[in-house]
A and B are shown apart, each in its own frame.
Chain A
Amino acid sequence: MTVVLEVSNMRKTFGGIVAVDNVSFDVRAGEILGIIGPNGSGKSTLFNCVLGQLQPSAGDVRIDGNLTTGMRPCDLNRLGVSRTFQLLQVFPQLSVRDNLILAGQEHQGSMASRLFGRADAGLSDDAARMIEFFRLSHLAGEQAGSLSYGQQKLLDAAMAFMAGPRLVLLDEPAGGVNLTMLGQLRERLHAYHAERSATFVVIEHQMEFVMALCTRVLVLAEGRIIAEGKPQDIRRDPIVIEAYLGH
């Protein structure tokens, strides 16, 4: 299968602390790769290095075989790589609809066409479809900041999908989401994945969520990959259990 994302010998240090220590892995087209690991094991740092938010100390990132290390997040995004953040990241003062239009507007036209063209950048229909897809239609005109936490989490995911990315990195999508909303989120992620044959990488603590969603799991501890395999095997792996539960 084609490799979409290739991370090789990635290393990131903050002063004397090694947050990511020589990590290499491939993500293949169409898979949903889970990355799990205890707090502070370097998962989010890894994401930030892959997506250009942080400059890795060493190592390379390749997307579709092209070197993208050090590329700016906005340029990566326009290559079809999207992400969500661990903490909620919607624009609270914009409406739900405007949040989604914003997420798509930079993917078409030029700076000039965005200034002189239509106010909605021609994205109202796409936004409405995405809002419908995430079951937020009744909230389309509301300010994003007035939504419940779970609804904002859905909007957050919808924004990441708005421009139709091929590769989506989700940082703890289930964090702090109640069980009802969690089922809905997982079901929507599955639906998008199937519809667009997209590739996901998911950081998650919620084990049930990982088991139900992911096709393969990497386990990170102290900045290193300590295990890799199918979700059901990972769950029984003694190394993983030890890393999570300690000695």
Chain B
Amino acid sequence: MTRFGWILVALAAVVAIAAPFFLKPFGIFLISTWVVLTIAAIGLNLTLGYAGQISLAQGAFVGIGAYTVALLTPLGAPFPIAFVAAGLLCFAIGWVLGYPALRVQHHYLAFVTLAFTTLVFLVLRNEEWLTNGIYGITGTPRPDLLGWKTGGARDFYFLCLGVLVVLSLATWWMLRSPWGRAFVALRENPIRALSLGLDTRRYTLMAFAIGSSLGGFSGALYAPLVQFIEPNSFSLGLSFNLLLMVIVGGSGNFFGPFVGALIAVLLPEWLRITQGYYLIVYAAAVMVMMAFCPAGVLGLAERAIRLVWRGDKAAGASP
């Protein structure tokens, strides 16, 4: 990454740390939502953006993670245990969901994962003995960690931010390791990758499993954040929204999900003045974006920077 890039990241970090001290509770709730959804979007970016496996199931994994924590906490499980359990469960289910990806690709795979999301939604809604059906589960408590009570909006935000930092660093490490190279190879040319000794089956399943576990971690924070979960929160709408975050931010770009989630969380709020029309404006903006900049907001920014850079050079070269 360029020095300019690092400066931007450092600035963003400062803003992320300072923001809750200037925001009202609802503002803090919004940026907490951003942090939580960013974690899920990072997972989807891994599966879709890097490894090239399209998935419409990420919302379902957020749901599985949220219900895992909401169900385990009343049984007396400490939050860290429930949190890890959510991630592990989603890792296992994501691994199994990866098997269809070994046989079908592209839009067929989209359909398989779409069916999975519907399945999860139906289980959450119909298996009332477990999930309380459409009434949902209320009051998942925010944890006390080693004496740190995260019940307040600001404290819980910092907990989420801490988790985001740890998980993004882990993802960063993985993507710059040989695994990251293998994921990109899987996306660009699986047949050639296979002929170079890459066990594409194992990497595909890993991409699915790890991406899904990030969805689970996101859900594990979502339940104590909103303190009321119900099946509708995790229907196809959320999966599409997460897909949008990845693509609008810049699919296959490490910082894409951060930007994409920010837009997806804040834009509806800013568009509130348009009242009932916000979805129309939002949808139109996404269409324009996809038509003119399929590489997402960050792709656009990179292009702009390169243009300015080249302009500078050309100006410097001419007498």
Contacts and interface: CB of A to CB of B under 8 A. Distances in A.
Interface in A71-114: 72-74, 77-78, 82-83, 85, 89-94, 98, 101-103, 105-107, 111, 114
A63 interface: no
Contact of B202 (A73, A89, A94, A111): A111
B184 interface: yes
Contacts of B189: 89, 91
Given A89-B192, A91-B192, A119-B176, A102 B200 contact: no
A5 interface: no
Interface residues of B, number: 22
Interface residues of A, number: 32
A120 B192 CA distance: 20
B178 A121 contact: yes
Given A115-B177, A117-B177, A53 B184 contact: no
Task: Report which residue of A51, A91, A117 has the largest number of chain B beta carbons within 10 angstroms of its beta carbon.
Answer: A91
A10 interface: no
A111 B194 CA distance: 15
Nearest to A113: B178
A153 B244 CA distance: 37
B182 interface: yes
SS class of chain B's interface: helix, strand, loop or mixed?
helix
Interface in B172-188: 174, 176-179, 181-182, 184-185, 188
A102 B182 contact: yes
A20 interface: no
Interface in A101-146: 101-103, 105-107, 111, 114-117, 119, 121
Given A82-B195, A106-B182, A106-B198, 18 more contacts: A53-B191, A73-B194, A74-B199, A74-B200, A77-B194, A82-B196, A83-B195, A85-B191, A85-B195, A94-B185, A101-B178, A102-B182, A106-B196, A115-B174, A116-B177, A119-B178, A121-B178, A159-B196
Interface of B: 174, 176-179, 181-182, 184-185, 188-189, 191-200, 202
